[in-house]
């Protein structure tokens, strides 16, 4: 499945080393004012080559809007946007025709489809997420125009270094885009950078955690049984290949609480519906599987051999994943906001 959403539908397409990647957005209301510059600003936060924290593959990720927007406004028809690949180094992946990279989707993809694009992982590459950011740019604009909903995400842990809590007085939202690890704690950010660079020097990669705060969310979005808002947000976030866990509110620490304490907590969700209070989400992200250390790899014939991967890769994923997770949450909220029942709830409240 390549389409996310029911009312606000985003279909992503393209491969890491193909001609282009992009998104088709269907269900976006007409009359939404949005510029190419706004979409590009979101893509720039995710694009490669931003710093030593990211892959050295340099892509401008210049978006082209092909349809659905006229004179700066959406017209209610499908919106098609593409980003052309310009800096592929496909030859770096030639040896992967007969090798499955450790920690990647290569083996499963090959045995399910009996054919795969081995260049940079093809469709299973993290580069696919740029299409999600395109969809997120439109969704964020809708949220801003309705309840002025804000989705604030930052890297709260990286390479074992933890930042202050997102609600702590030392947290500074303006700091997030000032440092290459996208952390709202300046002191922690400096330590994170040092730890990542040390790992990179040792041909290693590191994982981390992203904390997200949703503010001014519309009330009562969600469905009480099989469409609980936390479940749908989790579905979108867990669809990102590097994500390994999702929690909201008190999260996994709920097991240590007693009912009288837990019942006093405002977690932004009750009975599967949003309450309008802040929603705090934490997401753990695995280390980049592509590292230049010697490893063992499997071939389609079942042979095991020594293996050293080539190509250009990120020493850590979380900093570039921040805008992607924001986008998945924005698209989920808008999908519910455009539910006929939810639209009526917002109108008559």
| pLDDT at res. 162 | 97
Q: How confident is the model at residue 215, as a pLDDT?
A: 97
**Comparing C-alpha atoms, which of 122, 109, 92, 90 is closest to residue 15?**
122
> For the domain 3-347, what is the CATH superfamily, name and number?
Chorismate synthase AroC (3.60.150.10)
pLDDT per residue as tens, the chain (349 positions): 899 999 999 999 998 888 999 999 999 999 999 999 999 999 999 988 777 776 666 678 999 999 999 999 999 999 999 999 986 655 666 667 777 777 777 777 788 888 777 776 778 888 999 999 999 999 999 999 999 999 999 999 999 999 998 888 889 999 999 999 999 999 999 999 999 999 999 889 999 999 999 999 999 999 999 999 999 999 999 999 899 999 999 999 999 999 888 888 999 999 999 999 999 999 999 998 887 777 777 777 777 777 777 666 789 999 999 999 999 999 999 999 999 766 555 544 4
Structure tokens at 220: 């009562």
Q: What is the pLDDT of residue 312?
A: 67
Output the DSSP codes for 282-320: EEEEPPPS--SS-EEEE-TT--EEEE---S---SBSHHH
- How confident is the model over 205-237, as pLDDT tens digits? 999 999 999 999 999 999 999 999 999 999 999
Please list, in sequence order, all residues whose beta carbon lies within 8 angstroms of the beta carbon of residue 201, skipping any fewer than 6 positions away: none
Whole-number Cα distances in Å, 42 to 26, 136, 250, 274, 282 = 19, 8, 29, 26, 21
Q: Please report, for the chain, the start and end positions of each structural domain, with discontinuous segments joined by +.
A: 3-347
Residue 294 falls in which region: left (phi positive, over 0), alpha (psi -120 to 50) or beta: beta
Reference 322, options 245, 237, 246, 250; nearest CA is 237
Residues 196 and 205: their CA atoms lie apart, in Å, by 7
Distance CA 66, CA 145 (A): 24
Tokens describing residue 291: 């590292």
The closest alpha carbon to 244, from 214, 281, 213, 208, belongs to 208
Of 145, 94, 150, 84, the C-alpha closest to 119 is 94
């Amino acid at each position: 499945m390549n389409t996310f959403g029911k009312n606000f539908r985003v279909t992503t397409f393209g491969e890491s080393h193909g001609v282009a990647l992009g998104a088709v957005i269907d269900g976006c209301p007409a009359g939404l004012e949005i510029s190419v510059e706004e979409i590009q600003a979101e893509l720039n936060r995710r694009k490669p080559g931003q710093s030593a924290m990211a892959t050295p593959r340099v892509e401008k990720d210049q978006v082209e809007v092909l349809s659905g927007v006229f004179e700066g406004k959406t017209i209610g028809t499908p919106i098609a946007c593409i980003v052309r690949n310009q800096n592929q180094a496909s030859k770096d992946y030639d040896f992967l025709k007969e090798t499955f990279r450790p920690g990647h989707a290569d083996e499963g993809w090959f045995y399910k489809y009996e054919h795969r694009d081995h260049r940079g992982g093809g469709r299973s590459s993290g580069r696919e997420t740029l299409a999600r950011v395109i969809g997120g740019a439109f969704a964020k604009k809708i949220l801003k125009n309705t309840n002025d909903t804000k989705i604030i995400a930052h890297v709260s842990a990286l390479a074992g270094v933890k930042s202050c809590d997102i609600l702590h007085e030392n947290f500074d939202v303006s700091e997030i885009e000032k440092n290459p690890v996208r952390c709202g704690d300046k002191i922690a950010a400096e330590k994170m950078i040092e730890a990542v660079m040390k790992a990179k020097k040792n041909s290693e990669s590191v994982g981390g955690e992203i904390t997200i705060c949703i503010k001014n969310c519309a009330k009562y979005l969600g469905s009480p049984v099989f469409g609980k808002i936390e479940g749908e947000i989790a579905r979108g976030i867990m669809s990102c290949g590097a994500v390994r866990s999702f929690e909201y509110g008190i999260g996994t620490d709920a097991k240590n609480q007693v009912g009288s304490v837990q019942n006093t907590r405002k977690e932004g969700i009750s009975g599967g519906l949003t309450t309008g209070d802040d929603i705090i989400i934490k997401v753990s992200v695995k280390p980049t599987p592509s590292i230049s250390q010697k490893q063992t790899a499997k071939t389609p014939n079942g042979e095991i051999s020594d293996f050293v991967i080539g190509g250009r890769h990120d020493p850590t994923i979380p900093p570039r994943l921040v805008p992607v997770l924001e986008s998945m949450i924005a698209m989920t909220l808008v999908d519910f906001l455009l539910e006929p029942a939810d639209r009526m709830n917002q109108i008559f409240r």
